[in-house]
Structure 1
Amino acid sequence: MSFNWQGVFPALTTKFTEDDVLDLSMFQKNLDAQLEAGVDGIILGGSLGEASTLTNQEKEQLVKYAVEYLDGRVPVVLNIAEGTTKEAIRRAEEAAAWGAKALMALPPMRYKADDRETTEFFKAIGKATDLPIMIYNNPVDYKIEVTPAMFDELLKLDTIQAVKESTRDISNVTRLRNHFGDRLKILCGVDTLAMEELVMGADGWVAGLVCAFPRETVAIYRLVKAGRLEEARQIYRWFMPLLELDLHPKLVQYIKLAETHTGIGTEHVRAPRLTLIGEERSRIEKIITDGLAARPALPDYLAL
């Protein structure tokens, strides 16, 4: 049940071939880039991973492949995004059998549960598994907020250990730390607030643009934690136009286009998503190519 909720955890995109099947070769290439950059774990089956379009068999294939290929170098975390408590429990049980070392859990899908229902949903998962759990708190996109009062109840379970903090309120890091101390690990879930939340004491970063720019993402994290804030700030300022791609409903298409330009991904998405065309494509591509043209030299952050 012990898990180190610290560092950079990429919420990886799911790689597809042109024929709409899992592209495990490109998945491996991206995993290699993440490992070389120094990430601390990977998250599969999140929103950026097009979870709602994946079959359960595909999730199993991705987890088992990653677990075998990574061979303990970094842990694999599986996201749970289900509409019923029964199915959420089943995913948690399967994740353990497939070799995942932890879970990220969204509130109930397709139904706006109230506070009591949301709390009971998470508690049911936490009681059904020995895997450590990170609660994904994103009221902006999912319309359900996990409040400190709800965490008071949830943290009675040893399996519930962390929060992906995506409320867009930086002061929430301080509020949670004041209330729970180190009992609740805090990972920033919004790319454009990452440095700010890390400076305020967040333990980690569940990142999106890391899928295309792993070294820059890990460099910012490690420089902040080493107190080298000016160096981190310069990289973060360069990164911001790219990080803003994470805030759009088409974040999957935008980040996959960035992965294509950095050579560690493809544009293939699963319908109803479609690849970008026209003015939108030109606009996003300019952000990416401008960023690549000004890509900064990085210090030896891995030695920190």
Structure 2
Amino acid sequence: MMKIGKVITAMVTPFNSEGKVDYEQTKKLLDHLIANGSDAIILAGTTGESPTLTYDEKVSLFKLAVDYTQKRVPIIAGTGTNNTRASIHLTEVATKLGVDGILLVSPYYNKPSQLGIYEHFKAIAQATHLPIMLYNIPSRTGSQIDASTTISLSKIENIQAIKESSGDLELMATIIENTDDHFQVYTGDDSQALPSLAIGAKGVVSVAAHLIGKEIQNMINAYLNGNVVEAAQLHRQLLPIMKALFIAPNPVCVKYAISQLHFNVGSVRLPLASITKVEKELIDQQIRQINNG
């Protein structure tokens, strides 16, 4: 079984003033996340701006994270693309570097059939012994992984989890009900962390954990310990910052918010636009509330 805990942080990729990957800030951010509630960390996912990272940058990030964290938390490498052969190659390289798991996004732009999606993931899974987390985010990819396809893929030994970012709790419930206990469903939406737990999800792949990782852990633990009223109260308290981080395309807002915590992770790469004055004001308001918590 994929042992990655309840709160997995999809980490931003720090850039310097020239827009290059800042590896020293990456180390500092890894330390921060590990100390503040992250059970595992995903690199080169959506929040890590994977579409604008080069192959060499991804490999360098994977190597740095493995070498620097020294197994303090599992490191999951985002190696999925809409090119099956390229995804296989990057997965093989990440496996050799010593990452602990693989994240595979549904193929984007090509608009494959469900059979094509199944064969794509199956081919990549055969290229590694590592546990694999699928990633369904149709709002970005234009490629929906149907529940029936996920259920079929769960029968492949090393496909052991899914990050469900469809926002469809009914779809998630169908997957949970029709897969074996070893297959773990995570929501990819911070605001759905508690509702997803209620239908049997394992936890959350989080963006907000950059800021409130310990608070999300407290909410989840309260629910799992039977303190449902307390968990609901914590959920309502955390919801405003969770929602605020998505008033602009992710990771625009979270990168700005992190910079206010004295981590200079830089801005985003084009075609994402930098945060606006209005968006900054909204995020600043939420940060003040967190600090006054």
Distance in 2, matches of 1:158 and 1:18, equals 43
Amino acid at match of 2:114: D
Q: Secondary structure at the match of 1:26?
A: helix
What are the ranges of 5 or more consecutive residues in structure 2 without an aligned counterpart?
Answer: none
User: Which residue number in structure 2 is paired with residue 125 of structure 1?
Assistant: 124
Distance in 2, matches of 1:47 and 1:83, equals 14
Q: Secondary structure at the match of 1:206?
A: strand
User: Which residue number in structure 2 is paired with residue 301 of structure 1?
Assistant: none
Distance in 2, matches of 1:265 and 1:211, equals 13
The 8 Å contact of residues 151 and 175 in structure 2, kept in 1 or not, is answered as: no
User: Which residue number in structure 1 is paired with residue 250 of structure 2?
Assistant: 251
Q: Does 1:37 align with 2:32?
A: no
Amino acid at match of 1:202: A
User: Which residue number in structure 2 is paired with residue 71 of structure 1?
Assistant: 70
Which whole-Å deviations, capped at 9, do the CAs of 1:262-294 have from their partners, x for residues lacking one? 2334342222333223xxx22x22332322332
The 8 Å contact of residues 242 and 287 in structure 1, kept in 2 or not, is answered as: no
Amino acid at match of 2:33: Q
Amino acid at match of 1:290: Q
Identical pairs, percent:
28
Amino acid at match of 2:254: I
User: Which residue number in structure 1 is paired with residue 155 of structure 2?
Assistant: 156
CA 1:201–1:230 in structure 2 vs 1: closer, same or farther (change >3 Å)?
A: same
Amino acid at match of 2:53: L
User: Which residue number in structure 1 is paired with residue 109 of structure 2?
Assistant: 110
What are the ranges of 5 or more consecutive residues in structure 1 without an aligned counterpart?
Answer: 299-304
Q: Does 1:287 align with 2:282?
A: yes
Instruction: State the shift of 1:95 in Å.
Output: 0.8
Amino acid at match of 1:173: M
CA 1:3–1:126 in structure 2 vs 1: closer, same or farther (change >3 Å)?
A: same
The 8 Å contact of residues 154 and 179 in structure 2, kept in 1 or not, is answered as: no
Matches within 5 A, 1:224-239: 224-239=223-238
Amino acid at match of 1:17: N
The 8 Å contact of residues 62 and 97 in structure 2, kept in 1 or not, is answered as: yes
Instruction: State the shift of 1:135 in Å.
Output: 0.7
User: Which residue number in structure 1 is paired with residue 169 of structure 2?
Assistant: 170
User: Which residue number in structure 2 is paired with residue 85 of structure 1?
Assistant: 84
User: Which residue number in structure 2 is paired with residue 4 of structure 1?
Assistant: 3
User: Which residue number in structure 2 is paired with residue 197 of structure 1?
Assistant: 196
Distance in 2, matches of 1:134 and 1:14, equals 20
Distance in 2, matches of 1:166 and 1:175, equals 15
Distance in 2, matches of 1:297 and 1:102, equals 37
Distance in 1, matches of 2:47 and 2:152, equals 29
Distance in 2, matches of 1:139 and 1:41, equals 24
Instruction: State the shift of 1:247 in Å.
Output: 4.1
Moved more, 236-245 or 127-136: 236-245
Distance in 2, matches of 1:246 and 1:60, equals 28
Distance in 2, matches of 1:67 and 1:92, equals 15
Q: Secondary structure at the match of 2:260?
A: helix
Distance in 2, matches of 1:76 and 1:272, equals 27
The 8 Å contact of residues 5 and 162 in structure 1, kept in 2 or not, is answered as: no
Which whole-Å deviations, capped at 9, do the CAs of 1:169-206 have from their partners, x for residues lacking one? 12333222221141321011111211110222211210
Distance in 2, matches of 1:142 and 1:200, equals 25
Amino acid at match of 1:262: L
Amino acid at match of 2:284: T
RMSD in angstroms over aligned alpha carbons? 2.0
Distance in 1, matches of 2:108 and 2:137, equals 12
User: Which residue number in structure 2 is paired with residue 302 of structure 1?
Assistant: none
Moved more, 263-272 or 89-98: 263-272
Amino acid at match of 1:291: Q
CA 1:110–1:180 in structure 2 vs 1: closer, same or farther (change >3 Å)?
A: same
Instruction: State the shift of 1:9 in Å.
Output: 0.7
Amino acid at match of 1:294: Q
Moved more, 218-227 or 123-132: 218-227
The 8 Å contact of residues 16 and 22 in structure 1, kept in 2 or not, is answered as: yes
CA 1:248–1:121 in structure 2 vs 1: closer, same or farther (change >3 Å)?
A: farther
Which whole-Å deviations, capped at 9, do the CAs of 1:188-244 have from their partners, x for residues lacking one? 111121111022221121001112332223222222222223333333222212212
